[in-house]
Amino acid sequence: MQSRRGGSQGCLPCFVVGVDKRWVAKRSFQRSLIDTKLCLSMPTGSHLSILSVIATQPLSNTAFNQAHTLFEQNCAACHSKGGNIIFYARNKTLFPKALEKNGYLNKESISEITRQGKGAMPGYHNKLDDEEISLLSDYILQRAADHWK
């Protein structure tokens, strides 16, 4: 993903993100489908973190429901509504700022921690297949883009 500061006709300086056709979630903006470049008009003094723009394909209703079931069965005990109940790992949530801070900015990194585990989080490579882990990663990114609402 390439980015640069820019502007467009009739808007404040904006953050232009070069990506393929993807869904993008923007803080305080509605979701929109982008093609190659997206100009986000940002109010003066606002901050756009890299995870405020999460480029993932939206899941179909069927895939979303399957992923939701997988999440509820395997992840929700600790990560209910994107949070974390482990008291010494409270900053390891599935919200955009925490994912960004902890280096989980894409599907591959989320799939890897799901597969291998880390710290108190067990790995699921023996319980879930690669397709299920991939589906969970897409689900987590999609829900994080919506701030788990």
Task: Give me the residue spans of the domains in the chain.
Answer: 2-52, 61-145
pLDDT value, residue 133: 97
User: At 142, phi and psi to the nearest 5?
Assistant: -65, -45
Q: CB-based contacts of 74: which residues, under 8 Å, 6+ apart?
A: 124, 127, 128, 136
Q: What is the pTM of this model?
A: 0.65
What is the tens place of the pLDDT at every residue in 56-75?
A: 578 999 999 999 999 999 99
Q: Residue 105 — pLDDT band, cuts 50, 70, 90?
A: confident
pLDDT at 44 over 60: no
Task: Confirm if 133 and 124 have CB atoms less than 8 A apart.
Answer: yes
Return the CATH class of domain 61-145.
Answer: mainly alpha
Q: Does pLDDT of 119 surpass 70?
A: yes
Could you report the per-residue pLDDT of 1-37, keeping only the tens digit for each?
433 334 444 333 333 333 333 444 443 333 443 333 3
> What is the pLDDT at residue 30?
37
Give the pLDDT of residue 56. Answer: 57
Residue 106 clears pLDDT 50, i.e. is over it: yes
CB distance 100 to 50 below 8 Å = yes
Proportion of the chain above pLDDT 70, given as a percent: 62
